[in-house]
A and B are shown apart, each in its own frame.
Chain A
């Protein structure tokens, strides 16, 4: 606190002095209250997270032969190299969360639990699944690796050409 603030009021009238201290007190408390809200927000939002990153590095595009469907069971995605380009599908059935399986002989993605069927581009062919499989954002990193962001769904039929 600057000295002048302490000294100046002394010269003032008693009432002014009181008013100054009241203002000082109320002002400090108001700033403290506003600060506490900001502080609370910063404190409550964690700076580090102990959760798996939604962004996956799935390796070089060359490791996926053309016209192939690759299931990464740990991350729950399909990486598909079609004639149009690369795309990534969620591999978890939209019905009750079973891990689906690619049936190369039929050319469909089928859920082993309740028989839902999806096309290779994730569209629902038959129930009981309520929705098609989600398309995730796919891009190429600067090192030339394919990256998949499981937290970002995109509209279907957006292929990544490499």
Chain B
């Protein structure tokens, strides 16, 4: 253009020479001026036309077209804002323009629209204006084209999170389980159960590290417990011994398994102390299958331990090890000593110290001995160990990180044995090595790693787990929540897990409770498991007389449950100690348990309560008062509730169950004081003695 103008003023026009297209257009300065100007115009026109035909304008126009024919068009049109929409939250680093195209996200009226990008969002747990979109969905919020916003591109690695892993985003802030995130909760539970944190460090945003919940047994005295042959078979394939075994398969060669078993046996030291001796009765008493089985059942061993039945189903709890082939595993004298008092071998075991008599120990030992598979170790023949094998076994144990989970004398737990997973959920895919044929996304990498840890490259050490597809998804979800955002969250949004309680009851009762492993099932002041009722306020809940009787002979409150309180064979002294402590210490501050009498309510009131129980509130749909008529199995049976519970507790429970036990499924029926009092009177009339009288 400049050139044309400049030339025009200087140069005389020349004559037309050839009629080619070139000379037609650029033959002389005038033509060149005209043609070049037009070319300039056309090239400049690229800019506005690109803007006009941009993707987001197209979507906004289609949205307007879509709503035109609708009944609620006026409302939708009023909500619609043209142009690029942006949610800007500097605190979170959020610049989200998703709503530029996803126009109907907040339109409750668009229930019938399934076409993206106009679908409305299902109920949102948070306000979109305060959190934006990418906090949960990932992707590139600032982008205004579909590909850039949703996919992984050259300039943006993090694509949108597939919907099946979406719960991981909740886990960025919420460290404690949420009711709406079952998959995430399960993933975290599995991570704790399978002890990922033994090898992989996971630093938590609130400080400290993720803890594993499994306590793999110490191997320092393993020769007392089992044989080298069993160790060999076990490390070769733990799941061949027990289908539910938590230890993963390290895919060891025969030589490796041979040397590791040699090392572990050679490294084992005898247990100190003289309490470790086989009860003499056990050796002589013949095993009685029926007596053993009934003792096994009466002691509720199945609450924690599972056994594979004839149909191949594993039945029982998953807290302790599976016992299907226990006879192949342990030495009889060790088993007897363990049943007599497990705390001698492992002071911190979750197993309670049952006060079995020597005869009972012998019966149970004999019974468990029969649980064996004659073929299991039939093919294992090991030559005596050599010093070379032992040395090599030690090397292997160090290399495979056995000491990360197990205590092995002579090998220290390695720091940073496996890659740290603190920020695994935001690891750039350019830093990952993918196996062949695998989609190049982070969730695919993580789930692939969980499925086949060693498929990625030769020489990898992570062992093989037997997770189901659902479990892999759950763990992937949990791992994706460990990311950069979770680490850099503003303190205002972080919802850390309440720190694990190290509550320890005092005095002799405290020792007794540890010995009986109460915390393996019950929770008190935040410590313990949720297998059995929380006992924090137990002193306010029950009557002391009932408690003593229950400790002496626990009968079940919920007949529908298979997990029950076992009978520990406590002495009268022990029972008194425990019950005194519970009744004195574990009292709620919210009311005085003496403020209402446990008996002596007028018959009129009791009858009124009965009417309320059966008619107005229909409590019998969940609870049983009359075993012949009532069919409710959801709540605890109330046949003898008047002898068991405290009237004041019953009254307050009826008024507001969630206030006393947050999260309980007992509905809050907003009872009036009169109704609550009448129901209390009725329930307190359901006494043991009364029932016995009616039975007569």
In the complex they form, do A and B come into direct contact, defined as C-beta atoms under 8 angstroms apart?
yes
Query: Is B35's CB within 8 Å of the partner chain A?
Result: yes
Q: Are A22 and B19 touching (Cβ within 8 A)? A: no
Contacting chain B: which of A29-37, A102-110, A131-139? A29-37
Taking a contact as CB atoms under 8 Å apart, the answer to whether B19 and A32 are in contact is no
Smallest CB separation, B7 vs chain A (Å)? 12
Answer whether residue B201 sits at the interface, using C-beta atoms and an 8 A cutoff: no
Residues 1 to 52 of chain A near chain B (Cβ within 8 Å):
1, 6, 10, 14, 18, 20-29, 31-32, 35-36, 38-39, 42, 47-50
Closest 8 CB pairs of A and B: A21-B34, A25-B34, A28-B37, A24-B34, A25-B37, A28-B41, A25-B33, A48-B86
Known pairs A32-B40, A36-B44 / 14 extra A-B pairs, C-beta < 8 Å: A6-B24, A6-B25, A18-B13, A18-B30, A20-B34, A21-B34, A23-B34, A24-B37, A25-B30, A29-B41, A32-B44, A39-B44, A48-B86, A48-B97
Tell whether A21 pairs with B84 under 8 Å between CB atoms, given A39-B47, A48-B97.
Answer: no
The interface size of chain B toward A, counting residues with CB under 8 Å, comes to 31
CA distance A107 to B36 in the complex (A): 75
Cross-interface CB contact of A22 among B33, B36, B47, cutoff 8 Å: B33
User: How far, in angstroms, from A6 to B25 measured CA to CA in the complex?
Assistant: 8
Q: How far is the CA of A161 from the CA of B88 in the complex (A)?
A: 32
> For residue B463, which residues in chain A have a CB less than 8 angstroms away from its CB?
none
Q: In the bound complex, what is the Cα–Cα distance between A14 and B31 (angstroms)?
A: 11
Residues of B within 8 A of A32 (CB): 37, 40-41, 44
Q: Could you list 20 A-B pairs, sorted by A, with CB under 8 Å?
A: A14-B16, A21-B31, A22-B33, A25-B4, A25-B30, A25-B34, A29-B1, A29-B37, A29-B41, A32-B40, A32-B41, A35-B41, A35-B45, A38-B48, A42-B51, A47-B83, A48-B86, A48-B97, A50-B88, A57-B129
Interface residues of chain B, those whose CB is within 8 Å of chain A, are 1, 4, 13, 16, 19, 21, 24-25, 30-31, 33-38, 40-42, 44-45, 47-48, 51, 83-84, 86, 88, 90, 97, 129
Q: Is the CB of A25 within 8 A of B38?
A: yes
Distance to closest chain A CB from B25 (angstroms): 7
Q: With contacts A6-B25, A36-B44 known, is A21 near B19, CB below 8 A? A: no
Q: Find out whether the CB atom of B33 lies under 8 angstroms from the CB atom of A21.
A: yes
B contact residues around A25 at 8 Å (CB): 4, 30, 33-38
Interface SS of chain A: helix
**How many Å lie between the Cα of A57 and that of B33 in the bound state?**
59
Given A21-B30, A48-B97, CB of A31 within 8 Å of CB of B86: no
Q: Nearest Cβ distance between residue B583 and chain A, in whole angstroms?
A: 45
Residues of A within 8 A of B40 (CB): 28-29, 32
State how many residues of chain A have any CB contact under 8 Å with chain B: 27
Residues in B with CB closer than 8 Å to A21 are: 30-31, 33-35
Q: How far is the CA of A95 from the CA of B38 in the complex (A)?
A: 59
* Given A35-B48, A48-B97: A22 touches B30 (CB 8 Å cut-off): yes
Question: Which of A10, A28, A29 sits near B24, CB closer than 8 Å?
Answer: A10
In the complex, the chain A residue whose C-beta lies closest to that of B43 is: A32
- Which residue of chain B has the shortest Cβ distance to A38 in the bound complex? B48
Name the residue on A nearest B33 (C-beta).
A25
Are B34 and A35 in contact (CB-based, < 8 A)? Answer: no
CA distance A129 to B632 in the complex (A): 73
A10 close to B19 (CB less than 8 A): yes
On chain A, the residues within 8 Å of B4 by CB distance are 25
Q: How far is the CB of A140 from chain B (nearest CB, A)?
A: 15
Would you give the shortest CB distance from A59 to chain B, in whole angstroms?
11
Residues of B within 8 A of A42 (CB): 48, 51
CB-CB < 8 A to B83: which residues of A?
A: 47
Cα distance, A27 to B33, chains bound together (Å):
11
Chain A residues proximal to chain B, CB less than 8 Å: 1, 6, 10, 14, 18, 20-29, 31-32, 35-36, 38-39, 42, 47-50, 57
| Chain B residue contacts of A31, Cβ below 8 A | 41
- How many whole Å from B633's CB to the nearest CB in chain A? 43
Contact between B86 and A22, CB atoms less than 8 A apart? no
Complex contacts, A20 vs chain B, CB 8 Å: 34
Q: Hey, which chain A residues are within 8 Å of B24, CB to CB?
A: 6, 10
Q: Which residues of B contact A49 (CB under 8 A)?
A: 86
B25 to chain A: closest residue by CB = A6
Least CB distance, B490 to chain A, in whole angstroms = 15
Complexed CA–CA distance, A28 and B24 (Å): 18
- In the bound assembly, the distance between CA atoms of A29 and B38 in angstroms comes to 8
Point out the residues of chain A lying under 8 angstroms from B129, CB to CB. 57
> Which B residues touch A29, using CB under 8 A?
1, 37, 40-41
Residues on B with C-beta less than 8 A from A22 are 30, 33-34
Question: How far, in Å, is B526 (CB) from chain A's closest CB?
Answer: 33
Contacts of A48 in B (CB 8 A): 84, 86, 88, 97
Q: Which residue of A lies closest to B21 (CB)?
A: A6
Q: CB-CB < 8 A to A57: which residues of B?
A: 129
Smallest distance from the beta carbon of B326 to chain A beta carbons, Å?
62
CB distance from A55 to the nearest CB of B (A): 10
- Bound together, the chains give a CA A71 to CA B1 distance in angstroms of 62
A43 to chain B, nearest CB (A): 9
- Cα distance A135–B657 in the bound complex, in angstroms: 48
Q: Which residue of B lies closest to A21 (CB)?
A: B34
Determine how close the nearest CB of chain A comes to the CB of B233; give it in whole angstroms. 65
Q: Which of B34, B40, B47 gathers the greatest number of chain A CB atoms within 10 Å? A: B34
Residues of A within 8 A of B31 (CB): 18, 21
Closest B residue, CB atoms, query A32 = B41
Is the Cβ of A35 less than 8 Å from the Cβ of B30?
Answer: no
B30: A residues at CB distance < 8 A: 18, 21-22, 25
Q: Which residue in A10, A23, A39 is a CB contact (below 8 Å) of B48?
A: A39
In the complex, which of the residues A14, A24, A39 has the most CB atoms of chain B within 10 Å of its own CB atom? Answer: A24
Task: From known contacts A47-B83, A48-B97, infer whether A35 and B44 are also in contact, taking CB-CB under 8 Å.
Answer: yes
Q: Which residues of A contact B45 (CB under 8 A)?
A: 35
Alpha-carbon gap, A25 to B31, bound state (A)? 8
- Pairwise interchain contact B38-A47, C-beta atoms closer than 8 A: no
Q: Which residues of A contact B47 (CB under 8 A)?
A: 39
Distance in angstroms from B253 CB to nearest chain A CB is 61
Residues of chain B within 8 A of A38, CB atoms compared: 48
Q: Is the CB of A24 within 8 A of B38?
A: yes
Residue of A with least CB distance to B28: A18
Could you tell me the distance between the alpha carbons of A77 and B38 in the complex, rounded to whole angstroms? 57
Whether A28 pairs with B84 at a CB distance below 8 angstroms is no
Contacts of A6 in B (CB 8 A): 21, 24-25
Report Cα–Cα, A49/B45, bound state, in Å.
27
Please, how many angstroms separate the alpha-carbon atoms of A20 and B38 in the complex? 12
Report the minimal beta-carbon distance from A49 to chain B, rounded to whole angstroms. 8
The minimal Cβ–Cβ distance linking B537 to chain A, given in whole angstroms, is 34
Separation in Å of the A2 CB from the closest CB of chain B? Answer: 11
Indicate whether A47 sits within 8 Å of B84 (C-beta atoms), given known contacts A6-B24, A36-B44.
Answer: yes
CB distance from B150 to the nearest CB of A (A): 20
CA of A25 to CA of B629, assembled, Å: 101
Q: Are B38 and A1 in contact (CB under 8 A)?
A: yes
